[in-house]
Structure 1
Amino acid sequence: MSNLLLVRGSTRGDDSLSTKIALQLVDELRRKTPDMTVVDRDLSLAPLPHIGADFSAAIRLTPEDRTPAQAEVIAVSDAAVDELLDADTIVISTGFINFGISSILKSWIDHVARAGRTFRYTENGPVGLLSGKKAYLVIASGGIYSGDAAAFDFAEPYLRRVLNFIGITDIEAIRIEGVAYGPEAAEKAIGAAKARAQELAQAA
């Protein structure tokens, strides 16, 4: 049985284009693998708390030495990590916000990039522990950042680098770009993204 984790990182709820394309991709993948189990983590509805002093202290302590508050925040983090570890396929969606990802998605990353769980330190540097997984990124933006404005794109390169860091190197991206350039441009961008989702699902 195959397990898929959908991480909805957009703050726009049902109006999110990245979420709509991500859901289409998930449906296409499920159609190809009917027995696939899907875990849907909607960060706009249930955002993870930003990490703070309790989290930073707790990850350096044994469970026995943690305070109740530290144990609580680590339990939240562990649940997110467990979902990621169980997944064979990860679909991550986000809007492009101030040249980067949403803060709710960044908080999820802060919880799941955990030394000893998703990566480990060695004499030769850190090593990711999540090899063998497939990831899809779905990123929507009002402007176009895949061409001349690529230097302003801190979303896709960051997500790729983080996933690589924890061992996920098989990554595909779907961009929904230029949706702020008018109805015609938005329709074209959405159509291209839908076609890309179908193409990737068929190739999976």
Structure 2
Amino acid sequence: MKLLHIDSSILGENSVSRQLSAEIVAQLQKKHANLEVEYLDLGTTDIPHLTQEILLGQDIEQSKLGEDLVDQYLSADLIVLGAAMYNFSISSNLKAWVDRIAIAGKTFKYTADGAVGLADKIQKVYIASSRGGIYGEKSPIDFQEAFLKQIFNFTGVTNIDVIRAEGVNLSPENRAKAVAETLDAIHKL
């Protein structure tokens, strides 16, 4: 079984989402002895934002990178994504990755009845979400978790768990409490 572990925070070791995603991976490794983990750090991996040349396949190097990212995504059975909220949404580096893996004919196709996801081999996605404030599950200003769920659903992945730590920037006490509660929930996975 293959797990793709993706981190997108730019905060390095100060990142809550990285701490949570690492713990989810550790829990899954305990459950699945044969788990092969591949790691992608979007905080340090340079994935340029989509341009006309990239989209039209005119940049050979970037076309190859896009193909590699799609292959990496499609070869996974499980995905663990560490995603912090940045200005009510996802980081720009995570958006650059999304733009590279949401490819017609590869991860989805259009039919007469609408789009159909092609990444249905992926059994489950775990999103380790961190937020500086408190937004709740259905906040009208949450463009982070809703967007990520939509992208995964669009590509054919419907089994998605969001593990969330909120209020981590309100105070050191709130951060410690949110992280502890979220780690406890992860240990119960």
Scaled to the shorter chain, the TM-score interval is over 0.9
How far 1:121 sits from its partner (Å)?
A: 1.0
Instruction: Say whether the 8 Å CA contact 1:118–1:128 is kept in structure 2.
Output: yes
Alignment of 1:1-204 (within 5 A): 2-58=1-57, 67=58, 70-133=59-122, 134-146=124-136, 150-200=139-189
**CA offsets, 1:76-113, max 9 Å, x none?**
00111111111000011111110001000000000000
Aligned AA (2:107): T
Q: Which runs of 5+ in 1 are unaligned?
A: 59-66
- Percentage identity across paired residues of the two chains: 36
Instruction: Say whether the 8 Å CA contact 2:47–2:97 is kept in structure 1.
Output: yes
Aligned AA (1:78): E
Rg larger for: 1
Aligned AA (1:7): I
**CA offsets, 1:46-72, max 9 Å, x none?**
1311110111212xxxxxxxx5xx222
How far 1:164 sits from its partner (Å)?
A: 0.4
Find the aligned partners of 1:100 and 1:23 in 2 and give their Cα distance. 21
Q: Look up the SS of the partner of 1:121 in the other structure.
A: strand
**CA offsets, 1:119-163, max 9 Å, x none?**
01111111000114200111111100116x811111000000110
**CA offsets, 1:11-61, max 9 Å, x none?**
111111100110011011011112111110001111311110111212xxx
Structural RMSD (CA): 1.2
Instruction: Say whether the 8 Å CA contact 2:3–2:77 is kept in structure 1.
Output: yes
Find the aligned partners of 2:55 and 2:120 in 1 and give their Cα distance. 26
Aligned AA (2:39): D
Find the aligned partners of 1:34 and 1:49 in 2 and give their Cα distance. 36
Equivalent in the alignment of 1:64 = none
Runs of 4+ in structure 1 over 6 Å off: none
Aligned residue-pair number: 188
If each structure's helix is expressed as a fraction of its own residues, which one has the higher value? 1
Find the aligned partners of 1:3 and 1:11 in 2 and give their Cα distance. 25
